[in-house]
Amino acid sequence: MLLRQLISEGTATVSQAFPEREAREMVLLYLGYALGTSRHTHIIEPSYEVSDVHASDAMKAFARMAAGEPIQYIIGMAYFYGREFLVTPDVLIPRPETELLCREVIDWTDSYGLPSGGLRIADLCTGSGCIAWTLALELPGTEVLAVDISDGALDVAAGQSFGKDGCKSPSFFKADVLAGPQDRFGTFDVMVSNPPYVMESEKAMMRKNVLEHEPELALFVPDNDPLIFYRAVADWAKKLLKPGGLCFVEINESLGEETADVFRDRGFKDVQVVKDLSERDRFVRAIQDFS
Ligand SMILES: C[S@@+](CC[C@H](N)C(=O)[O-])C[C@H]1O[C@@H](n2cnc3c(N)ncnc32)[C@H](O)[C@@H]1O
């Protein structure tokens, strides 16, 4: 089959569920990944042929997209902070707002200065390891330790292929963040977390493809205790952050000040709610007191 024919048939299939422009982008992304073609191959080489096997695999993939399966799970990859991360249905697909979390932490380290022996960063609820690896890669010499409760997620995080890219690979451990801070991990200059924070009652507002395909364990908290992970993360930070160290967490936009209060109540200083690019309350930053 000709590539250009495959693109138009694929776009027609995926447009059953998405606007045509978005459907075409998804088709081009899939084909680039599966065949190594560029967005312009079908224009520059109008007679470019795709083998029957590849065309049939592609049409199956397009049918999965039309049924609502996220393209990142189909190709097994998601972009985050300009890099390709492996993803499986065991991990949340990294979100653009979480890139901002990394940016804020990297910017903050400029003012903090580099401790002798290098920075130590902890990432609680690491999922695909997108935050842990990004900080390790962007802050060379930094030691990053990351934990998650899911074996599947830890396999994905540890299996990312950046180990040879000139950074210290993060260390990944299985731990239940809700079970309280673990001294065995030592102390840290920075503690970050993007924990589960979607309330069960918010399910109704969520897109079907998220609900049906992304792991429940990564997303939801009970309506009657939506800040459960923030109290736990604040306890880890209180115990394991060095004086002057930064705790930076992604939050539920409807609970900005309530989440900040969790940190204020524990004696952190300079506690602030930080907005994302859409002006929504998206993060809380807190500094460990010196006393
Ligand atoms: C919102 S996802 C975030 C993943 C990743 N940090 C990101 O930003 O894409 C939350 C993660 O918390 C993990 N998790 C859920 N309950 C946990 C617990 N009690 N202890 C540790 N990790 C937990 C899930 O497995 C999931 O990987």
Residue from 149, 151, 216, 251 to probe ligand 1 pocket by mutation (most atoms less than 8 Å from CB): 149
Q: Are residues 106 and 226 in the same domain?
A: yes
Q: Are residues 129 and 162 in the same domain?
A: yes
Task: Please state the three-class secondary structure of the chain as a single string.
Answer: CEHHHHHHHHHHHHCCCCCHHHHHHHHHHHHHHHHCCCCCHHHHCCCCECCHHHHHHHHHHHHHHHCCCCHHHHHCEEEECCEEEECCCCCCCCCHHHHHHHHHHHHHHHHHCCCCCCCEEEEECCCCCHHHHHHHHHCCCCEEEEEECCHHHHHHHHCCCCCCCCCCCCEEEECCHHHCCCHHHCCEEEEEECCCCEEHHHHHHCCHHHHHHCCHHHHEECCCCCCHHHHHHHHHHHHHEEEEEEEEEECCHHHHHHHHHHHHHCCCEEEEEEECCCCCEEEEEEECCCC
- Is residue 75, in this structure, part of any structural domain at all? no
Quote the pLDDT of residue 165. Answer: 67
- Is residue 257, in this structure, part of any structural domain at all? yes
Q: Are residues 111 and 236 in the same domain?
A: yes
Q: Are residues 109 and 58 in the same domain?
A: no
Question: Ligand 1: which residues within 6 Å by Cβ?
Answer: 91-92, 94, 98, 125-128, 130-131, 147-150, 153, 176-178, 194-196, 217-218
- Is residue 278, in this structure, part of any structural domain at all? yes
> How many structural domains are present in the chain?
2
Q: Are residues 201 and 59 in the same domain?
A: no
- Is residue 142, in this structure, part of any structural domain at all? yes
Q: Are residues 56 and 103 in the same domain?
A: no
- Is residue 169, in this structure, part of any structural domain at all? yes
How remote is the CA of residue 85 from the centroid of ligand 1, in Å?
A: 16
The enclosing domain of 192 has a CATH number of: 3.40.50.150
Q: Are residues 61 and 196 in the same domain?
A: no
Q: Are residues 216 and 283 in the same domain?
A: yes
Closest residue (by CA) to atom 13 of ligand 1?
125
Q: Are residues 45 and 142 in the same domain?
A: no
Quote the pLDDT of residue 114. Answer: 77
Q: Are residues 45 and 188 in the same domain?
A: no
- Is residue 81, in this structure, part of any structural domain at all? no
Give the residue numbers spanning the domain of 42: 3-67
How remote is the CA of residue 252 from the centroid of ligand 1, in Å?
A: 14
Q: Are residues 8 and 115 in the same domain?
A: no
Q: Are residues 237 and 281 in the same domain?
A: yes
Spans of the chain, pLDDT less than 50:
none
- Is residue 84, in this structure, part of any structural domain at all? no
- Is residue 79, in this structure, part of any structural domain at all? no
State the chain's mean pLDDT as an integer.
95
Quote the pLDDT of residue 163. Answer: 73
